[in-house]
Amino acid sequence: MSSSLTVEDERISLLLLPMECTCILTGSSICGEEVKFGGEGRNSAAPKSRLTSLVPEALGFGRKHDATVDIPLDTMNNSKNKERELASWEADLKRREQDIKRREDAVTRAGVPTDDRNWPPFFPIIHHDIANEIPVHAQRLQYLAFASWLGIVLCLVFNVIAVTVCWIRGGGVKIFFLAVIYALLGCPLSYVLWYRPLYRAMRTDSALKFSWFFLCYLVHIGFCIVAAIAPPIVFRGESFTGILAAISVFSDHVLVGFNSLGGNATLRDSKR
Indicate the DSSP class of residue 194: I
Q: Is residue 161 part of a domain?
A: yes
The answer as to whether 155 is a domain residue is yes
Would residue 113 count as lying in a domain?
A: no
Is 242 a member of any domain? yes
The residues facing 44 across adjacent strands are 35
Task: Compute the distance between CA of residue 159 and CA of residue 187 in angstroms, rounded to an integer.
Answer: 12
In terms of residue numbers, what domain contains 162?
144-257
Question: Which H or E element spans position 43?
Answer: strand 43-44
Task: Give the separation between CA 235 and CA 175, rounded to whole angstroms.
Answer: 7
Instruction: Assess whether pLDDT exceeds 70 at residue 14.
Output: no
Judge whether 43 lies within some domain. Answer: no
252 within a domain of the structure (yes/no): yes
- Mind listing the pLDDT tens digit for each residue in 26-76? 554 444 444 444 444 444 444 444 444 444 444 444 455 555 655 555 566
pLDDT at residue 33 in the model: 46
Altogether, the residues listed in the chain come to a count of 272
Amino acid 77: pLDDT: 67
Closest listed residue to residue 171, CA positions, set 243, 233, 252: 252
Distance of CA 185 to the CA centre of its chain: 31
Domain assignment of residue 222, yes or no: yes
Is residue 154 assigned to a domain? yes
Whether residue 253 contacts residue 241, with contact meaning beta carbons closer than 8 Å, is answered with: no
Q: What is the pLDDT of residues 79-137, one digit of tens each?
A: 778 888 888 888 888 888 888 888 777 766 665 556 788 898 888 899 898 988 899 99
Domain count of the fold of the chain: 1
Query: Is pTM beyond 0.75 here?
Result: no
Burial class for 3, CB neighbours closer than 10 Å (0-12, 13-18, 19+)? exposed
3-state secondary structure of 55: coil
